[in-house]
Amino acid sequence: MNATKKTARIAGILYLLVGIFGGFAEGYVDPAMYVAGNVAGTASNLVANSTLVRMGVVAHLLDGTCFVFLAMVLYNLLQHVHKSVARGMLILVALATGIICLNAVFQFEGLRVATENAYASALGKPGSDAVALLLIEMQHYGTLIAQVFFGLWLVPLGYLCNKSGMFPKWLGYVLILGGVCYLVDLLTAFLAPGLNQAVHRFVIIPSAIAEISMVLYLLMVGVKTTDR
């Protein structure tokens, strides 16, 4: 049990790092750089905050690295419950991480196009700014697409937590609900963009509660030692 608790707390530390790196990159840097439909505004943001963008790119890569190791640790912790479901969880995390790391390439190239004179000389300033916006938009919408897997991985995780007896059953249900809310947010972003801001403010709350609850439980409790 002590070894299991230690494994769970390692998962908690990794999950916390995912939240820190992902929150900085996706919650702060990305929105500060991207101005939808505004070529000059986005390019100006990239030029004025080049160091911050580089830090954001590194944060994306660290986020992805920690995410993969988190999934591996949770797999070892929960594979005894249902190995196929645990493998599915690993695959979903791998897909999400691959997209996020590819998005970091688009963001870094957007920075290079906006800040290096060679692109402005070849394309003209308006042309290079337009290419920079295109690359940042690819990164932006790529992050939304990765949200499919950010949501889906919580479903098998919630199932495994619920059935394992190592976590409170309510935590498993909340994780599944959080995953569904991620998907609802994504679908409105693409299918009903006019409603997305209102929907996002509503559905992000259960998702945040689910993931924060999981992090805190892993760090503070680890796993259950008695029935609750």
- In the prediction, which pLDDT does 227 show? 47
Angle formed by the axes of helices 83-115 and 50-78, nearest 10°: 170
Banded pLDDT at 3 (limits 50, 70, 90): confident
Per-residue pLDDT, 226: 54
pLDDT at res. 1 = 58
Band of residue 198 on the pLDDT scale cut at 50, 70, 90: confident
**What is the spatial distance between Cα 13 and Cα 70, in angstroms, rounded to a whole number?**
9
Distances (CA, A) of 115 to 52, 162, 199, 216: 13, 50, 36, 41
Q: Is the pLDDT reported for residue 193 higher than 90?
A: no
pLDDT for res 224:
79
Task: State mean pLDDT over 166-195.
Answer: 92
Residue 228 has pLDDT above 50, yes or no: no
| pLDDT the model gives residue 2 | 84
Closest by CA to 201, choosing from 189, 191, 216, is: 189
pLDDT digits (tens, 9 = 90+) for 117-155: 999 888 888 999 999 999 999 999 999 899 999 999 999
Q: How high is the pLDDT of residue 6?
A: 92
Q: For residue 223, what pLDDT is reported?
A: 86
Using alpha carbons, select from 153, 155, 157, 143 the residue that is nearest to residue 186: 143
Q: What confidence category does residue 23 fall into, taking pLDDT thresholds of 50, 70 and 90?
A: very high
How far apart (Å, rounded) are the C-alpha atoms in residues 60 and 64?
A: 6
- Specify the amino acid at residue 9: R
- pLDDT over 90, % of the chain: 78
Give the pLDDT band of residue 37 (cuts 50, 70, 90).
confident
Instruction: Decide if pLDDT at 188 tops 50.
Output: yes
- Assess whether pLDDT exceeds 80 at residue 204: yes
